[in-house]
Amino acid sequence: SQQGEEDPQALSIQEGENATMNCSYKTSINNLQWYRQNSGRGLVHLILIRSNEREKHSGRLRVTLDTSKKSSSLLITASRAADTASYFCATDAGNFNKFYFGSGTKLNVKP
Amino acid sequence: DAGITQSPRHKVTETGTPVTLRCHQTENHRYMYWYRQDPGHGLRLIHYSYGVKDTDKGEVSDGYSVSRSKTEDFLLTLESATSSQTSVYFCAISTGGERNEQFFGPGTRLTVL
């Protein structure tokens, strides 16, 4: 399986702090995507980084990708209580548009 | 939400009964997916479709079948429900192309007693 694995499984921080989550995967990819899931809801797409990119920014989100280490990180800066959610990475190897998800990082941002 | 709806949203059924979940999209996307989500496992791909009548298995397809007779509808059937199929089921589409993002439906919570 080329499923991604997130680390840590759970993270608890204070509002205003930065949150960093990591994702490792097993095989070569076309791109890697990060999703957020609020409790009881579906997943929401956050950001996509292609295999030939090393860093991507979107608002308070910063994603890095190291294909030599088969790993990615998601940084949320100046976190807010509303960022409390589970975060998943998903890899796309281009095989019939199949995506493989990790088991997620549960982020709790305390006000 | 890319116009994705799932029905029913909640269902309780008994072991051994057949169950069909429906996913409906309004934006004519080619690729559709069914996932299940369980604690500690993230999302696991059950089946996916790359066009009308074109489907294939994912990583946890045993006990499930799918059909796609129209672009907008993707049905997931549990042929004989078991308690291990108690889960939250998500349907998704992907936009394909260079960005290739997935958009998810709201989910169906299925309980098999």
A63 close to B (CB below 8 A): no
> Which residues 81-110 in chain A show a CB within 8 A of chain B?
88, 90, 92, 96-104
- Judged by phi (left if over 0) then psi (alpha if -120 to 50, else beta), residue B76 lies in beta
Q: Is B44 on the interface with A (CB under 8 A)?
A: yes
Find chain A residues with C-beta within 8 A of B97's C-beta: none
Share of chain A above pLDDT 90, in %: 72
Amino acid at A69: K
Instruction: Please say whether the beta carbons of A98 and A19 come within 8 A.
Output: no
Give Cα separations from A22 to A64, A76, A102 (angstroms): 9, 12, 11
Give the whole-angstrom CA distance, residue A93 versus residue A34.
15
Average pLDDT over residues B40-65: 91
- Give the separation between CA B24 and CA B22, rounded to whole angstroms: 7
- Give pLDDT tens digits for B72-111: 999 999 999 999 999 999 999 988 777 778 899 999 999 9
Band (pLDDT 50/70/90 cuts) for residue A3 is: low
Strands A19-24, B42-51: pairing kind: unpaired
- Give the DSSP H/E element, type plus range, for residue B19: strand B19-25
- The length of chain A in residues reads 111
Q: Report, as an integer, the average pLDDT of A27-51.
A: 90
DSSP annotation of A98 reads -
Chain A contact probe: residue of B57, B102, B103 with most A CBs at under 10 A: B102
- Which residues of A fall within a CB distance of 8 Å from B43? 43, 88, 90, 101
Residue B48 sits at the chain A interface (C-beta within 8 Å) = yes
Q: Which residues in chain B are contacts of A96 at CB distance < 8 A?
A: 48, 50, 56
State yes or no: pLDDT of A13 exceeds 90.
yes
Tell whether A61 is within 8 A of chain B (Cβ).
Answer: no
Backbone angles phi, psi at A34, to 5 degrees: -115, 140
> Under DSSP, is residue B16 helix (H, G, I), strand (E, B) or coil?
coil
Which residues in chain A are closer than 8 Å to B44, comparing Cβ atoms? 101
Lowest mean pLDDT among B32-36, B48-52, B100-104: B100-104
Q: How confident is the model at residue A96 (pLDDT cuts 50, 70, 90)?
A: low
